């Protein structure tokens, strides 16, 4: 079975008494170890889908299985626990905690795991090294450049060794050079660790870095293309 199975997945929002079908009977499978780019016009439901996959939001109907778990069956707290074990989430605007240093930001998700202090330290250092920021561990977010902030955010998403790495326009706010650095990092994670990645992007060049591109249109699957 695939790592992610969406079957007839629907998400509606009510707007002035009228239901808006943001995701409309979506069927989609994502294999373990795959690298998927999610594209589509603005408002087509990309972020909504990513939020459902991350267990941040709930589907209106349909089925969503991630690694065999039916997310609809989990309550709020179980879902939170599930996220802490299985999901690494990278935002467009980094979302580092401003009052915590780079090191502390990366350590944050590990506080929810039952680890010794030494093991936690080892993992944080390793994650910071993997994004090439070991020397910046004591810096606060405002003392880092946008590209560096995003790399810290990626280290924070990876440090728990999640089943699934989800990224919503991770390069949307970065210049070319920084975007390339982030994409190189994703490529390496995918190749070397077999990390499953689902990434939303508006940029065709960025999307070509992935193995395949899934296109949404008005909440429906428009096309699935394998990269050449």
Partner 1 sequence: MSALMTRIRYALRSARRQRLRTVALVGGVALTTALAAAIACIDLGVRDATTTRAGETRLIVYRENRFCPFASALPQRYDRQIAELPGVAAVVPVKIVVSNCRASLDVVTFRGVPVEDLRAMAPRLAAGSLDAWAGHGNGALVGRELAARRGLRVGSSLTAAGIDVVVDGILESDDPQWRNSALTHLAFLQERAARGGTGGIVTQFDVTVSDPARLEEVARAIDERFKADEAPTATRPQTAFVARAARDVVALAGFSSLIGIGAVLAAFGLLATTMVNVTRHRSREFAVLRTLGFTDGGISAIVLAEGALVGAFGGLLGAGLAWLGLSRAGLAFTMEGVSITPRLDPSIFILASACALVAGLLATAIPAWTASRARLVDLLRGAS
Binding site for partner 1 (CB under 8 A): 51, 54, 56-57, 76-77, 80-85, 87, 89, 91-93, 95-100, 104, 108-109, 111-112, 117, 140, 156
**Distance in angstroms (rounded) separating the CA atoms of residues 206 and 217:** 19
Tell me: does residue 204 bind ligand ATP (CB under 6 A).
no
For the bound state, the minimum distance from the C-beta of residue 91 to partner 1, rounded and expressed in Å, comes to: 6
For the bound state, the minimum distance from the C-beta of residue 198 to ligand ATP, rounded and expressed in Å, comes to: 13
Count other Cβ atoms within 10 Å, centred on residue 121.
Answer: 14
Q: Of 34, 48, 150, 201, which one interacts with ligand ATP (CB under 6 A)?
A: 48
- Determine contact, residues 163/86, Cβ cutoff 8 Å: yes
From the list partner 1, Mg ion, ligand ATP, none, pick the one residue 15 interacts with, judged by a Cβ distance below 5 to 8 Å according to partner type.
Answer: ligand ATP
Choose the stretch contacting ligand ATP; rule: CB under 6 A; options: 40-48, 72-80, 123-131, 156-164: 40-48
Burial (CB < 10 A; 0-12, 13-18, 19+), residue 55, is buried
Distance between terminal CA atoms of the chain?
Answer: 25
Tell me: does residue 101 bind ligand ATP (CB under 6 A).
no
Dihedral angle, C-alpha 98, 94, 172, 191, nearest 10 °? 150
Q: Considering the complex, state which of residue 31 and residue 67 has its C-beta at the smaller distance from partner 1.
A: 67
Tell me: does residue 13 bind ligand ATP (CB under 6 A).
yes
**Distance in angstroms (rounded) separating the CA atoms of residues 4 and 148:** 31
Give residue 159's Cα distance to chain centre: 13
Q: Of 33, 43, 138, 194, which one interacts with ligand ATP (CB under 6 A)?
A: 43
Tell me: does residue 47 bind ligand ATP (CB under 6 A).
yes
For 16-146, where are the E strands, in sequence order?
A: 18-30, 35-39, 61-66, 69-70, 87-90
Tell me: does residue 45 bind ligand ATP (CB under 6 A).
yes
Tell me: does residue 201 bind ligand ATP (CB under 6 A).
no
Give residue 168's Cα distance to chain centre: 6
Binding residues for Mg ion, per CB under 5 A?
47
Which stretches of the chain bind ligand ATP, using CB under 6 A?
A: 13, 15, 20, 22, 40, 42-48
């Amino acid at each position: 079975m695939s790592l992610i199975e969406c079957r007839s997945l629907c998400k509606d929002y009510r707007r002035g008494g009228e239901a808006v079908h943001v995701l409309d009977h979506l069927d989609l499978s994502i294999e373990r170890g795959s690298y998927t780019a999610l594209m589509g016009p603005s408002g087509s439901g990309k972020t909504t889908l990513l939020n459902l996959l991350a267990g941040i939001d709930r589907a209106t109907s349909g089925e969503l299985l991630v690694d065999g778990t039916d997310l609809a069956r989990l309550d709020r707290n179980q879902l939170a626990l599930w996220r802490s074990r299985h999901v690494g989430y990278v935002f467009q605007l980094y979302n580092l905690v401003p009052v915590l240093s780079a090191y502390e930001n990366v350590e944050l998700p590990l506080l929810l795991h039952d680890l010794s202090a030494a093991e936690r330290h080892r993992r944080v250092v390793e994650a910071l090294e993997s994004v090439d920021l070991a020397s910046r561990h004591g810096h606060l977010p405002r003392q880092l450049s946008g590209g560096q902030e995003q790399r810290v955010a990626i280290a924070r998403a990876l440090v728990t060794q999640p089943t699934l790495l989800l990224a919503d326009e991770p390069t949307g706010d970065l210049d070319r050079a920084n975007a390339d650095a982030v994409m190189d990092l994703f490529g390496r994670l995918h190749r070397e660790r077999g990390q499953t990645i689902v990434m939303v992007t508006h940029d065709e060049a960025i999307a070509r870095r992935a193995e395949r591109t899934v296109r949404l249109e008005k909440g429906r699957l428009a096309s699935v293309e394998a990269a050449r």
